[in-house]
Amino acid sequence: MKGSIPGFMVACLLAAPLAQASFMGSTLLGEYSNNLSEPAWCSETSVVGAGVEFECPGGFQVDVSSDQVLYTLSGFGTFGGGDFNGFVLSDASATVPGIVAVTIASTTLAGMDPSRLWFDTDSIWLNFSGLEMPDLKMSTLLDVTFAAVTEPGSFALLSLGIAGLGLCRRRTASETERESAGQPCNLK
């Protein structure tokens, strides 16, 4: 029985459910820039919820959901050239769990490929530089994967269980000492 206690504790830790990390409720900074070394020409913060989070002049919109980002634009034929002409999405509140992967789920832009997308733990850059929009409309959908986050309630339950096991072990040790000393064990 004694050998099963550490195994039980490990099983409890591994069984702790993981919370679904997401953008929902987080404050993000959205910036459209023609050049990363100059100030963005469209910059705003928004709390992620229902509806479009960012709207820039010229019909550019960014809608962020729990784990996706949808970029849409209508009215232009070709994005300007240069090293960067795109949108940067950043965690303004330091509440988004670390971003571990971003992929292009769908796009209407010929030439939009993974080389135009990069990210770190709290920002996503999408570069439209030089791309042409068919029918003067564009949409690109990104899937975002976050680092796993253990639910706080699981840690509380695990801590309570470990404390209980410690008390049981202490009680068992105390009974063993009494028996060794020749004292009867009183359980009331």
Same domain for 68 and 158, yes or no, is no
Q: Is 181 helix (H, G, I), strand (E, B) or coil?
A: coil
Q: Which pLDDT belongs to residue 148?
A: 83
Percent of the chain with pLDDT over 90: 47
pTM, 2 dp? 0.71
Structural domains in the chain (count): 2
Same domain for 85 and 22, yes or no, is yes
Same domain for 120 and 163, yes or no, is no
Q: Which two tokens stand for residue 107?
A: 């796009």
Q: Which residue has the higher pLDDT, 154 or 21?
A: 21
Total residue length of the chain: 188
Task: For residue 49, tell me if it sits in a domain.
Answer: yes
Task: For residue 13, tell me if it sits in a domain.
Answer: no
Residue 6 has pLDDT above 70, yes or no: no
Task: For residue 2, tell me if it sits in a domain.
Answer: no
CB 13, CB 159: distance < 8 Å: no
Q: Which of 80, 89, 99 is nearest to 144 (CA)?
A: 99
Beta bridge partners of 137: 74
Q: Which pLDDT belongs to residue 18?
A: 47
Residue 159 sits in which domain range? 151-179
DSSP letters spanning 43-55? EEEEE--SS--EE
Same domain for 87 and 59, yes or no, is yes
Span 44-95, pLDDT tens digits: 999 999 999 999 988 899 999 999 999 998 877 788 888 999 999 999 988 8
Q: Tell me the H-state helices in 44-182.
A: 152-180
Task: For residue 131, tell me if it sits in a domain.
Answer: yes
